[in-house]
Amino acid sequence: MLIPTTFASAQVEIRGVYGHPQGLWDKGFRLDSLGVNAIFLHDKSISAELMKRARNENVKVFAEFATLNGKGYVENHPEAWAIDSSGKKVQSATWFMGVCPSDPVFRKHRTDALKKLLSDFDVDGVWMDYVHWHAQFEDPDPILPETCFCNKCTSGFEKHTGITVSGNGIPGKARFILNRHEVAWREWRASVIANWAAEFRQIISKEKPGALLGLYHCPWNDEDFNGARYRILGLDYNKLEKEVDVFSPMVYHNRMGRKAEWVKENIEWFSKIVPNKKIWPIVQASNEPANVSAKEFEKVLRYGLSGRATGVMMFTTYAVAGEPAKIEVLKKVYHSTMQ
């Protein structure tokens, strides 16, 4: 499989890094000297100093917003804990702890934080992250529980569909739903996730007109893990593309046990799924769980610009800053897209 070496200047608009750029700054680099024109980083890492320096280096700033990450919240608000089909609280999925997406208090907690972010900083956009029902997909053997069967969720399902849920306790209600109304249940769950994106779209349009709404998301196709992207995570691209400006598939080949070439295959496939939206994938540079060589990093960085993709970024800035060979790859690939 050939790796593209040059790109039309009109094709590539975003040459990004994910994570605070301090590691590169500490080595004396200006971001624009490396061809970088965008930073994507956690909203809590944004400061006035970072914004000023980014603008001085001709770089856009996009805030990553950990939307449905409940770690640090559910422990103090047990009413927001996601409930599985056996009626038990879900367990932390290795490193990720989700939340019940139907919980209204948690939703207000997150939307208030979004409004504050947009009030405090003139960011160019917000990237929703962890936008799915409780699960963990960034592993070769993902964790995919059936959730959430709390009273808020079953009541929301009833209101959305007109179906009356019956059964003995939560396990009985879960069996009733999954055995008799699975199609409607999956559609309702996807509508809940899409509604989060719709509210974020409304807030951004009001508070920061012109700012983009992006989405970091699971890159699985419709068949992977028995359709788990829609079935378990609740991601329906047809619903989401009505609200989202930019999709950023998380094509972490190494972490997901895939070959580098899968990145190209995935982006080409996804380009056909959302033909009218921008696609800026995030590829892997970090050495986790195994080493990603500079050569391999160059492959996935270029493969990330396959199909209709008009931008790319890597996970993470510090992974690149820590290896001179990867810095040179970043510079070479990004400068080649400017020609």
User: How much is the pLDDT for 93?
Assistant: 85
Q: Where are the alpha helices (DSSP H) in 57-181?
A: 104-120, 151-161, 169-180
DSSP structure string for 156-199: HHHHHH-PPP--SHHHHHHHHHHHH-HHHHHHHHHHHHHHHHHH
User: How much is the pLDDT for 7?
Assistant: 46
HSE at residue 156, side-chain half, CA atoms within 13 A, is 21
CA–CA dist 311, 168 (Å, integer): 51
Q: How far is CA 86 from the centre of its chain?
A: 28
Q: How far is CA 42 from the centre of its chain?
A: 12
**Tokens in use for 259?**
């070959």
User: How much is the pLDDT for 94?
Assistant: 82
**Tokens in use for 223?**
């068949």
User: How much is the pLDDT for 11?
Assistant: 86
CA–CA dist 39, 36 (Å, integer): 8
As a whole number, mean pLDDT of residues 248-258 equals: 98
Report if pTM > 0.85.
yes
pLDDT tens digits, one per residue of 128-177: 999 999 999 999 999 999 999 999 999 999 999 999 999 999 999 999 99
CA–CA dist 297, 324 (Å, integer): 12
Tell me the pLDDT band of 8, cut-offs 50, 70 and 90: very low
Residue 208 has pLDDT above 90, yes or no: yes
CA–CA dist 232, 67 (Å, integer): 17
Share of the chain above pLDDT 70, in %: 97
User: According to CATH, what is the number of the domain 14-336?
Assistant: 3.20.20.80
Q: How far is CA 127 from the centre of its chain?
A: 7
Residue 185 has pLDDT above 80, yes or no: yes
CA–CA dist 172, 339 (Å, integer): 62
115 burial level (CB within 10 Å; 0-12, 13-18, 19+): middle
121 burial level (CB within 10 Å; 0-12, 13-18, 19+): middle
155, 160, 164, 168: CA torsion to nearest 10: -40
Helix then strand then coil, in percent of the chain rounded to 5, is 40, 15, 40
Total H helices, total E strands in the chain:
12, 9
Residue 118 has pLDDT above 50, yes or no: yes
User: How much is the pLDDT for 325?
Assistant: 98
pLDDT tens digits, one per residue of 255-278: 999 999 999 999 999 999 999 999
DSSP bridge pairs for 249: 217
Residue 109 has pLDDT above 60, yes or no: yes
CA–CA dist 63, 231 (Å, integer): 28
Residue with the two structure tokens 């994910």: 18
Residue with the two structure tokens 């510079």: 331
221, 240, 194, 165: CA torsion to nearest 10: -50
CA–CA dist 305, 326 (Å, integer): 17
CA–CA dist 31, 25 (Å, integer): 8
User: For the chain, what are the domain ranges?
Assistant: 14-336
Strands 282-284 and 278-279, bridge-based pairing: unpaired
Residue 9 has pLDDT above 90, yes or no: no
CA–CA dist 160, 164 (Å, integer): 11
